[in-house]
Structure 1
């Protein structure tokens, strides 16, 4: 977040260009956070007028059921 808003705001496309590292998709905890990160990239790109990288739209970054961090 600090990089996006302050330290490297002039390099936003580079900050979101690379896909997330591989992770164990059978680990629900890791999968939920990966989906959160991919969705955050999509939101930030849209909010700040950047092109959203194609990797963020990969179907693997979806959940079968909604998940909320807090009940």
Structure 2
């Protein structure tokens, strides 16, 4: 059971980074790590987890802050 939860969390993390990088690339022409550090990405993911918002909406709002 723990393995399934871990895989789900890993999948969510991977999807989050892909969406975040795609959004930065679309808005600025450069991927996520050209703008923020890996620590910032981790903090953004934690913020996303605390909010009750769709991932893409959260990422769009987050990127607006940097782009």
Task: Give the alignment's TM-score, normalised by structure 1.
Answer: 0.35
Q: Which has the higher contact order (CA 8 A, sep 6+)?
A: 2
Task: Give the alignment's TM-score, normalised by structure 2.
Answer: 0.37
Question: Which entry has the higher C-alpha Rg, 1 or 2?
Answer: 1
Q: Which of the two has greater helix per residue?
A: 2
